[in-house]
């Protein structure tokens, strides 16, 4: 018996040694995040660990692929070919019959985040997939933060943001999924790639840390882009000419740049420049295309921008463009041009690259992207959105310094900022709500749309990357072609105080007084000087449609900005809680000296100092912009 026990023990030890030899670990270690991949007889186990509080995300299933046949394959259904690790990445290769899959784990230690990528390749025949699921996992109480498609996932002290804005993110009973619908076959020798990002945040700092993360990964970091836009001025569903455009370049350049020292980034020429054939050629009104405009803009150290509409525009000009579709073989969906159509996409893509390379266009307003879930027969794209994403990637390759404003059709998911620099706030271009003058009603409407379409539906989308529809004082703007000095100043300062980097000027120069130009220049320069603070801009206060005080707050170590507006015709009081409204991090000062950068005429008196909280009184329709400097004599912990 004793000899038998020795034999059994020896066999057991041998089996343990074999298991130990078979098991292997791969680790990427960072200051905030560790990535650990274990490979043993049960398969792979992937773990992300937050080193500061030991929160973890674990999954033993790195991906799932569903097919039109009803079959669903998980990672375990594939043969593991190889695992390779270098300094910052772990690469895992799988194969199963006609399918090759590669997953890549990358640690960006200096930026405190990790990235998961999957690449699927069809080897010899098409893959008729219906769904790809990235890194499904379970934790105790994850949730999706936002109500729009591709909203971020929050799990303990982690945030997860998919790169593709068409990703369906879900969190239910502890289970998290990130799924992308596949509507067309993946062709042989073609590779499909998707990425998702995993970051960490400190208590009370989720929005701020997501904003900082996005600024690292986006194509163009946050930076003000101040520019003229021709819409509502020389163009409003009507053609305009080279002569008119050249005049506007000179007027803005002289008044803002030469006379008042403003940095003007560009001039964007909106609807009205093309031949209305849908092929996006220049009209006869631009015999030199944009070449003369480019030279004129360069005198003021500014660039050129252009408007194009993937779906063909709006109203009568759209109908005219669409009427030429058959002539060129362009595809149509729901009465609009379809960007995902093979023929239309080929021309649109060609024209965009020509505008970049031949006309030196550096800013694009892409206005109107159509279907998100319909496939055009013969299209290489699953939707117009998928086509837009592919096209933008090619645009960035042609010039990595472009500014791309993607407007109608987008929703407030941070995922769009992997591609575009700004997206539309939602709603109408211009409308009116509440009491007061038409300008005050316009401001209330503008901000109400931001609140309901962005703040409520996409709370982690940075307000610094919204198209708000600019400052409007233009001859073709109904009800906004006449403004008092006070209304104009309120509009200008409330706009720049929002922190948006897309600084649009829908302004007819002849309507502005010398004081109007001075106000505009002062506020524009102020915004550029304070961009490092305004980068942090976030919503405070209430819903503008309730006519309660609301505004924007932005914090930095050295100083902060709090801007408030009263949309009511009655005097109101706002309870300012510095910890809550500035989202102060641990150890930040709690006491601040207050100075006024702007206050409406007849505005109420403001506190000169705030310690933790204060009651701030605002007169009817008052806008105030307050600069807060830490009172170094007092610190709160």
* Span 225-533 CATH architecture: Alpha-Beta Barrel (3.20)
Alpha-carbon span 635 to 637, nearest angstrom: 7
Q: Where does the pLDDT of residue 111 fall: very low under 50, low under 70, confident under 90, or very high at 90 and above?
A: confident
The confidence score (pLDDT) of residue 23 equals 66
Alpha-carbon span 554 to 213, nearest angstrom: 17
Residue 67's DSSP bridge partners are 129
The confidence score (pLDDT) of residue 603 equals 96
Q: One fold for both 23-200 and 225-533?
A: no
The pLDDT tens digits of the residues spanning 121-131 come to 999 999 999 99
> What is the domain partition of the chain in residue ranges?
23-200, 225-533, 538-630
| Statement: residue 11 has pLDDT above 70 | no
| CATH of 23-200 among 1.10.10.1100, 3.40.50.1110, 2.40.50.100, 2.70.98.50 | 2.70.98.50
Nearest to 539 by CA among 466, 616, 431: 466
* DSSP label at residue 262: -
The confidence score (pLDDT) of residue 260 equals 99
The confidence score (pLDDT) of residue 5 equals 42
The confidence score (pLDDT) of residue 42 equals 86
The confidence score (pLDDT) of residue 377 equals 87
Q: What would the DSSP string read from start to end of 493-557?
A: HHHHHTT-SEEEEEE-GGG--HHHHHHHHHHHHHHHHTHHHHTT-EEEE--GGGT--EEEEE--S
The confidence score (pLDDT) of residue 431 equals 99
The pTM is what?
A: 0.94
State mean pLDDT over 198-219.
98
Strands of 143-144's sheet in order across: 79-85, 89-96, 99-108, 113-122, 191-200, 158-162, 153-155, 143-144
Percent of the chain residues topping a pLDDT of 70? 95
Query: Is 418 in a helix, a strand, or coil?
Result: helix
Q: Which of 295-309, 369-383, 405-419, 466-480 has the lowest mean pLDDT?
A: 369-383
| Statement: residue 507 has pLDDT above 90 | yes
What is the assigned CATH class of domain 538-630?
mainly beta
Q: Which helix (H) or strand (E) holds 361?
A: strand 361-366
Token representation of residue 511: 């309507």
The pLDDT tens digits of the residues spanning 263-314 come to 999 999 999 999 999 999 999 999 999 999 999 999 999 999 999 999 999 9
Side-chain half-sphere CA neighbours of 24 within 13 A: 8
The pLDDT tens digits of the residues spanning 46-91 come to 999 999 999 999 999 999 999 999 999 999 999 999 999 999 999 9
Alpha-carbon span 319 to 393, nearest angstrom: 29
Nearest to 188 by CA among 64, 77, 72, 100: 100
Q: Where does the pLDDT of residue 1 fall: very low under 50, low under 70, confident under 90, or very high at 90 and above?
A: very low
Q: Where does the pLDDT of residue 332 fall: very low under 50, low under 70, confident under 90, or very high at 90 and above?
A: very high
Token representation of residue 293: 């405009």
Q: Where does the pLDDT of residue 13 fall: very low under 50, low under 70, confident under 90, or very high at 90 and above?
A: very low
The confidence score (pLDDT) of residue 22 equals 53
Nearest to 25 by CA among 57, 56, 52, 47: 47
């Amino acid at each position: 018996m004793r000899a038998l026990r020795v034999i059994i023990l020896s066999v057991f030890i041998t089996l343990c040694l074999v298991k130990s030899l078979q098991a292997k670990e791969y680790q990427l270690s960072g200051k905030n995040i560790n990535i650990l991949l274990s490979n043993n007889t049960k398969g792979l186990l992937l773990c992300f660990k937050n080193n500061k509080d030991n929160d973890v995300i674990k999954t033993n299933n790195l991906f799932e692929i569903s097919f039109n046949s009803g079959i669903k394959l998980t990672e375990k259904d594939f043969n593991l070919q190889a695992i390779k690790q270098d300094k910052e990445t772990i690469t895992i290769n799988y194969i199963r019959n006609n399918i090759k899959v590669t997953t890549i784990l990358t640690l960006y230690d200096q930026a405190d985040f990790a990235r998961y990528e999957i690449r699927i390749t069809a080897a010899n025949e098409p893959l008729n997939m219906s769904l790809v699921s990235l890194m499904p996992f379970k934790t105790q109480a994850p949730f999706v933060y936002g109500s729009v498609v591709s909203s971020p996932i929050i799990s303990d002290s982690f945030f997860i943001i998919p790169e593709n804005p068409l990703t369906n993110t879900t969190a239910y009973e502890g289970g998290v999924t990130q799924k992308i619908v596949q509507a067309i076959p993946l062709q042989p020798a073609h590779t499909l790639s998707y990425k998702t990002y995993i970051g960490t945040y400190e208590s009370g700092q989720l929005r701020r840390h997501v904003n900082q993360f996005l600024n690292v990964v986006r194509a163009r970091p946050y930076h003000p882009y101040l520019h003229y836009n021709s819409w509502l001025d020389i163009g409003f569903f009507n053609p305009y000419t080279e002569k008119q455009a050249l005049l506007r370049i000179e007027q803005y350049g002289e008044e803002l740049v030469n006379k008042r020292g403003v940095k003007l980034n560009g001039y964007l020429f909106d609807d009205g420049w093309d031949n209305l054939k849908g092929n996006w050629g220049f009209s006869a009104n631009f015999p030199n295309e944009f070449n003369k405009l480019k030279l004129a803009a360069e005198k003021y150290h500014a660039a050129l921008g252009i408007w194009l509409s993937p779906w063909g525009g709006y109203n009568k000009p759209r109908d005219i463009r669409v009427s030429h579709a058959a002539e060129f073989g362009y595809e149509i969906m729901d009465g609009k041009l379809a960007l995902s159509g093979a023929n239309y996409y080929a021309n649109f893509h060609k024209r965009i690259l020509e505008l970049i390379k031949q006309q030196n266009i550096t800013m694009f307003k892409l206005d109107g992207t159509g279907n998100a879930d319909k496939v055009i027969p013969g299209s290489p794209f699953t939707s117009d959105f998928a086509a837009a994403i592919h096209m933008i990637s090619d645009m960035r390759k042609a010039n990595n310094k472009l500014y791309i404003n993607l407007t109608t059709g987008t929703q407030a998911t941070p995922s769009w900022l992997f591609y575009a620099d700004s997206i539309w706030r939602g709603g109408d271009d211009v409308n009116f709500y509440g009491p007061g003058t038409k300008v005050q009603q316009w401001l209330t409407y503008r901000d109400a749309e931001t609140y309901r379409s962005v703040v409520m539906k996409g709370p982690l989308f940075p307000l610094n990357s919204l198209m708000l529809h600019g400052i409007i004082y233009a001859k073709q703007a109904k009800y906004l072609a006449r403004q008092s000095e006070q209304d104009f100043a309120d509009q200008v300062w409330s706009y720049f105080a929002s922190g948006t980097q897309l600084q649009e000027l829908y302004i007819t120069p002849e309507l502005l007084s010398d004081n109007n130009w001075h106000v505009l220049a002062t506020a524009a320069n102020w915004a550029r000087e304070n961009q490092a603070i305004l980068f942090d801009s976030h919503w405070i206060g209430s819903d503008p449609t309730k006519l309660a005080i609301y505004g924007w707050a932005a914090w930095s170590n050295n100083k902060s900005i709090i801007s408030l507006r009263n949309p009511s015709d009655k005097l109101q009081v706002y309870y300012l809680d510095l910890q809550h409204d500035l989202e102060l991090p641990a150890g930040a000062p709690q006491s601040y000296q207050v100075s006024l950068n702007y206050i409406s005429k007849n505005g109420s008196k403001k506190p000169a100092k705030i310690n933790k909280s204060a009651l701030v009184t605002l007169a009817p329709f008052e806008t105030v912009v307050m600069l807060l400097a830490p009172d170094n004599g007092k610190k709160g912990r």
